[in-house]
A and B are shown apart, each in its own frame.
Chain A
Amino acid sequence: MSGDHDLRRSLGRAFGVRRSPLRPAGRWLHTNLGGSRILREELRHIFPDSWAFFLGEIALYCFIILVLTGIFLALFFQASEAPVVYDGPYAPLAGAKISVAYDSVLLLSLDVPAGLLVRQIHHWSALVFVGALIIHMLRTFFTASYRRPRRLNWLLGAVLLILVGLNGLFGYSLPDDLLSGTGLRIAFSITESIPFVGSAMATLLFGGEFPSSGLIARIYPVHIFLLPAAIAGLLGAHLGLLWLQRHTQFPGPGRSDRTVVGTPLVPAYALRTLGYFLLVFGVCTAFAGFVQINPVWLYGPYRPWDATTAAQPDWYMGWLEGAVRMMPGWDIQIGGLHIPGMFWPAVVLPGLVLTPLFVLPWLDWIVTRDGSFHNLALHAGQHAARAALGAGFTTFLSVLLVAGGNDVFAFVWNVSQPRLLLVLQIATIVLPPVVAVLTYLLVRAWERRGASAAHRPRVAGPHEPDLPPAGSAYGATGD
């Protein structure tokens, strides 16, 4: 039974040397899954070494943290707008008539032991989650890692980004405080602004005219079950594909489209990534412990007639808020058709921004006519046009993001708000092309100086026969 012998050897190595405390575990695996060729191979799954491949892991771990903390929060949150008189410890609201939902969040925050900490971990990790997703996607874009065979996985990632952002918006809407209600009101008028179907859609989604009763009860199952389940499923598929196709890797000695150089899953990579999970959890917990987030007791309950400055959505929705703030009101009336000004920045623009995200790999193929398999990532400086486009796109969204907080920035920087808005409006149009052209010129100059020549892949297989290479070599000497 040479296969058996092989397995024992590889498990032995995987779980450490002879006297390792993990030996019993290895033996258990061996006796129960013994002879499994798949297991033997997968335990040695090679992960290329680069910090860039941790970005997606931040997002993954944030998701896990969100699920864990969310379960705790769900023990206390009550999704109901029924009125109740507040009688908790927060004096400035004593005797106020508030909703059960808001009351339960106050209870969770101010009465339940560790409740506020867990709530804050949940919120901080949500902010980090979307940031990590975006940085992860930017990395994938600039290294052109979305090309064949990873086109489907890019698409899954883009869908994940949308779902995660939406779920964040829903979570933000649940506590029924002044900010969440303000956000929902804007979401309602955005939905309503869609021609023809808008008002029917808004009525369907929101259960009537805003503020409709029972809205929170509608959002709640979506936030805690529907979208998380969809995210978990897609995430599983995303990771499954990643496992099959492996990471791309940066070019280097011994690395090619057919060989992966890196660290094996067991034990080194498993330990490292477990450690990283704990670090992500640790950082989110540290921020939750020391920096207050979303103090709903200060914002007060939502009443449709109340308004406040500094009413922003969470940051990942900021670009939409910015677009709404900057767009001149193009309120159009053609015959019986009325298109409210909200339609352009809040429906058309996101459509224009997000569609390229979904079709990017195929757009790339149409432009470059490069349909071959790539397992080596490009360095950002290897393709000036791609870098330029990415930089311009990112700049555009960043300007929108800043505009989303323009009242706060105007206040903090002590500049005139209308003037700041004007500057941002101009920047939205001027800055992205300028940044794109500058990026293009810089990358070209860098290329000409030959700086990037050293990074070019040595092995460039012209064509892969079929699926990505299953074989993985690790430990090219001298690497």
Chain B
Amino acid sequence: MSVISLVSYEDALASYDPVMGLEVHVELGTRTKMFCGCSTELGAEPNTQTCPTCLGLPGSLPVVNRIGVESAIRIGLALNCEIAEWCRFARKNYFYPDMPKNFQTSQYDEPIAFNGYLDVQLEDGEVFRVEIERAHMEEDTGKSTHVGGATGRIHGAEYSLLDYNRAGIPLIEIVTKPIVGAGARAPEVAKAYVTELRELIRTLGVSEARMDKGQMRCDVNLSLRPIGREKFGTRSETKNVNSLRSVERAARFEIQRHATVLADGGTIVQETRHFHEDNGTTTSGRIKEEAEDYRYFPEPDLVPIAPSREWVEELRAALPELPRVRRARLQAEWGLSDKDMQAVLNAGAVEPILETVAAGAPADQARKWWLGELARRANETGTELADQPITPAQVARVCALVAEGKLNDKLARQVIEGVLAGEGEPDEVVEKRGLAVVSDDSALGAAVDQAIADNPDVAAKIRDGKVQAVGALVGAVMKATRGQADAARVKDLILERLGA
């Protein structure tokens, strides 16, 4: 692909209004597959978790996993959707070697959940409502690995390996309505939406929703329309964008790319595109000459799903506290301003703080460490806060040592450093580095006497009643003890000796 210079993001947004659609696939964490009893455990030897049904052997039939349906309903309810009183599975027909039956059992015009919304909070605290079109149930495909050839794609490969362990794992596909009105913030909305959705899915306990493990996959559909125009432009579909940051980057790149094509008088072709993590660009995948004809029809091997209203209400009543409600509660409990709470959220510090508090630390102390020292480090190393090599329990222990007076702030920071460097538990670091606060009078006495002797004029001032001058002597003692002295005790000793 020749390198073309892109229209700047600002220029793109000056002329065009982005319209976005997000399709998120979530692999459910059910113990068994959607239509058979095979295990869903990841990482098994290829093709060991299969049976006639998920291999699509002649004669095999599907049976619906009730937990899969239940999870779909709970996701629908959490997304403020209506739950269908009656719906069916449908066959989506297309040939692909990783799909054993050459049709995917999915849902078409009768999804289990529809017409919902998800409120997402942007970095400045503004709330944006993303409308949900539908959430439907389907099955995952197998996995193909293309060996040989340059790209790892099927084209040019010498041969391909097929693993059907993933075939038939339950998926929920969540589709937004067109997201309009986000303007320049569209990429940010996309990221915030996927982040919020991920948290929601995790809160519901229906999936770990790890994007790096493919448990949550996002397609970003994007089009531009000239500002002021009603009609949507032609969209591109960027498939399998697999990190939160990439979702934002992909949307941003596509806005610029579309604007560039349009500015040159070109037309956007409806196509699928691949996102490249390394340089943040997308390249053309398959061009859709016309909409692919999947020849959907109701799945005759399954009976319709008609969740009773009693069941739906039972599930609704049993929903856990949802992320937005929980955040509001925590903000109140922690007594934080909107701005402070937003800082906690942006740093991804909610869970670490909660766990640190659960391990016995006061909330303000926990927040201070996670948002200060540790957030700074995460930032520097470009890692997630939760992935720092220190546990909430260890942070809580440091807080406890400070509260007991065994560490002061400066020493505590060194202890944290030691833990992060892999030197062991906080108490071990204290011992190995010899960091305990010295408050033993006999040990401090010599240093105090030395400081008085070294600073006779300051000592004289204090004797004369200028007690505030004591700071200079305390400083001298702290310096001499490399910060390990208990400053309060040092002050008391000096004043005692000088009879002030």
* A pairs with B: no
* Chain B residues within CB distance 8 Å of chain A: none
